[in-house]
Structure 1
């Protein structure tokens, strides 16, 4: 009997491996690893040199944010196993999740080795590109959130940056959940996440992508027909969502998987899906981010306006520098929920287009390009020698970008006075002044 079971397990492994081994990885969305830029930057206008950087970045590639054991799927598989209701593929999945638990260990919520490398490399490139800023007495102001992965990301970034420095910088550190986790402080935004005007479009997309069928098909491969048939639509959705989440997280854990003594194939959750299923789940995952964190159906919706505190902070810290402030760079480390709405609020042309056409999602707004792991937005200030004239170049993920509606005769460089006026006007349209209490703004925000 044991030999028969092992044979079935082997056959299942072969058929499972055939499901999605050669599928493209374009379903990862915001779990995409940071792409190394290969940019040729536009030289600054004659007489200008970089003097100040305003930066906000997402944490690096990471571990899961919750222990494997608390996942709905973990308990469901245990229950099914006890009832003898796991198929050979279900047994494979259970074993794979057990391996993932060993890989994760006590590192949940932390960045991974991959994430550490991403941030170090960004720091190294920043130094290489802006030596005139960093080859002097350096004072840095470094902001993080309450989550440990943002501190780890800041430390990794700074370690890469410091490799090129001639002297140890002065570094001030602070926690800033109001400006960097603004989405946590607004009751109206919580309500929007649960069911805003985007909901009918999301329901329509799930039908178009046949998500209910995908969920049933996955469960049908893992459980006996009787057991799978008793699972509700909600349970099936949770199950598929967990497995899809495990599928996307292992890309960030390559080194940890090897350290734990496993091969990539031994944690290849991708192989439990067909290529089509991954594409369907990926489209819905992207849409969820687009509607709730990106420009969504309204570029002035609450999911964008909620980032106003960070824009105010960027403007005020820039003004402080020009008034003789001590910091050469303002460096902030936060989350995808910070970067995506901030990019939309700024009007970055690849990140600010709303739509009600579900076919346009992941075409006009691509999360892998807007908010991948370690994603970042930089304002680099250039000053003309002997004057008080400043230009600003905006980078998204270290690429020069255009600001929708803001004109410049020296693109990608914008006149700071024009840029400040442009954003101040936008903030005023939201009822925001630069000296307002931003925590109160978030609490008073309406959909």
Structure 2
């Protein structure tokens, strides 16, 4: 008996020690807040210095809103979780199960958002994220932001969703702080413009794309089915670990609670403590799969519908070049700043070819399907926490450079993801790409797909295969022991 208790004690110690250096706040997929991951960069990549004499003349920013509260639907889910946990504890008591294994916080737990009728708004931490980002960008590019504010010099756009427009305001307050006459902070007024949700094909293209909405509605159940084995495995483990009769839905809700507590409240010793680091990694991966399939490289429709935004970025650069060359009279726009959502930032990152492995960029150019991100413990580039955390962003900086003997190019593009230079596969892995090469290799291949053609409903010419047969290959892949070699046919073109 003593030996048995000793073994249990040792296993608990090992379980605890396994997570000593594991910060769950960095593993929350797209619910990760910016401060937890903004300093993470690819250690295997060392960006080259900006060539001497090159100066930035224009900046494009595509940013996600900052950290927000849970939505109304999710608040109701947490209210239901409160009731469900009470039922589980009462059932355990009736069955005389060993309640000493049950974490004390579960007894009497109430949702921090109990009674809230509205949700999804930008919280104070989210305001800070964008305000600080605005200050850092101004400090990084002082020449770009030295002009007196004018709405045609610094264009600021946001979607009509309040958390996006609030993020734009917080960013602008940081960007222009000290340059006005309003209040003790010497703030100044600035304009934020929005398009109607019904017609915003630049920042909410996914809302205006009928083919995408149909695709997502059809595929969401299949994606949930794909995630089920992981949730079933973790449900089985947690039932044994804590003695409570958890269901798959309970685990899903507890994982969501973990993400909200850790990201919004810095609480990591409650819901998140139910899961081991390896379980968190698997749950994070299921979230990343969903982002990949429904918003990212899982289907080319996901990012092709974002081509109007990419074209808007290129057009703004071309106008900046014309102004620099003296070919365009009037005010010279220095920055075009946009604030939207993960559904905007993720497809835009895909249009640029970011976070691809090996020869995947060539596959994308040929419109071939990609494999799913590899299952932990295998490493992967595609992580929601990096691709699109709260306040995640892509900056495209246009530089004017003196003509070199080795190059006839005078203008170059640098892409910064979450403020870090990132290699562009379409430019041979360089972070400093000649503008004409950027247009020819990265932008032009997408432009053969017109937005209306991509998004207008088309009659199905082929009968859809049953979901079960489509998923068969994925189940085989999901639980394969080695590196996944199966081609991703689940959402093939």
Q: CA separation of 1:417/1:340 partners in 2, compared to 1, >3 Å: closer, same or farther?
A: same
The residue aligned with 1:75 is 80
Which structure has the higher relative contact order (CA within 8 Å, separation 6+)?
Answer: 1
User: Does the alignment pair 1:147 with 2:161?
Assistant: yes
Give secondary structure in 1 for the equivalent of 2:425: coil
- Alpha-carbon distance in 2 for matches of 1:338, 1:362: 25
Query: Per the alignment, do residues 206 and 362 of structure 1 end up closer, same or farther by CA in structure 2, a change over 3 Å counting?
Result: farther
Query: Which residue is 2:214 aligned to?
Result: 191
1:67 CA displacement: 5.9
State how far apart, in whole Å, the 1-side matches of 2:116 and 2:381 are.
39
2:448 counterpart (397, 409, 429) = 429
Q: How does 1:194-273 map to 2 (within 5 A)?
A: 194-196=217-219, 199=222, 203=225, 206-207=228-229, 209=230, 211-216=231-236, 218=238, 236-254=247-265, 264=267, 268-273=270-275
User: What is the root-mean-square deviation of aligned Cα atoms in Å?
Assistant: 3.9
Residue 286 (structure 1) aligns with: 288
Aligned counterparts of 1:381 and 1:86: Cα–Cα separation in 2: 63
C-alpha offsets along residues 69-127 of structure 1, whole Å, 9 cap, x if unaligned?
521x533642674794366649843733x24125x957721222322222122111111
Question: Is 1:443 the counterpart of 2:456 in the alignment?
Answer: yes
Distance (Å, rounded) in 2 between the aligned partners of 1:170 and 1:319: 28
The answer to whether the 8 Å contact 1:135/1:165 transfers is no
- Post-superposition Cα deviations, 1:203-257, rounded to whole Å, max 9, x if no partner, equal 56643x3x213235556888965xx6xxxxxxx3333222211101122323xx8
Q: Does 1:132 align with 2:143?
A: yes
Cα contact 1:63–1:107 (8 A) shared by 2? no
Give the Cα separation in 1 of the matches to 2:86 and 2:380.
Answer: 42
Contact residue 75 and residue 116 of structure 2 kept, 8 A: no
Change in CA separation of 1:444 and 1:420 when aligned onto 2, cut-off 3 Å: farther
SS in 2 for 1:174: coil
The reply on whether 1:60 has 2:66 as its aligned counterpart is yes
Q: Which residue of 2 aligns with 1:320?
A: 319
* Residue equivalent to 2:113: 101
Please say if 1:112 is aligned against 2:111. Answer: no
| Alignment match, 1:390 | 411
Q: CA deviation at 1:44?
A: 3.3
Distance 1:442 1:95, change over 3 A: farther
Deviates more, 1:358-367 or 1:335-344: 358-367
Aligned to 1:418: 437
Deviations 1:396-437 (A, max 9, x none): 1111112212259xx43222122123344212332x3xxxxx
* Contact 1:90–1:221 (Cα < 8 Å) also in 2: no
Matched pairs, number: 398
Judged with a 3 Å threshold, the aligned counterparts in structure 2 of structure 1 residues 21 and 99 are, in CA distance, closer, same or farther, namely farther
Distance 2:82 2:32 in 1: 28
Alignment check: 8 A CA contact 1:20 1:272 kept: no
- Change in CA separation of 1:86 and 1:110 when aligned onto 2, cut-off 3 Å: farther
The structure with more helix, counted as a fraction of residues: 1
Answer whether contact 1:41 1:400 (CA < 8 A) is retained. yes
> What is the distance in 2 between the residues matched to 1:196 and 1:362?
26
In structure 2, runs of 5+ residues without a counterpart are 1-11, 94-98, 182-186, 323-327, 362-369, 461-492
Match of 1:366 in 2: 383
Contact kept in structure 1, 2:288 and 2:382, CA below 8 Å: no
Distance 1:44 1:154 in 2: 29
Q: TM-score, normalised by structure 2?
A: 0.69
The worse-fitting range, judged by mean Cα deviation, of 371-380 and 159-168 is: 159-168
Task: Note the C-alpha offset of 1:388.
Answer: 10
Contact 1:20 / 1:271 at 8 angstroms: preserved in 2? no
Q: 1:60 aligns to what SS in structure 2?
A: coil
Q: String of CA shifts for 1:10-40, please: whole Å, max 9, x gaps.
A: xxxx99x969975542531222222343899
Please give the TM-score of this superposition, normalised by the length of structure 1. 0.75
Unaligned residue ranges in structure 1 (runs of 5+): 1-13, 229-235, 258-263, 433-437
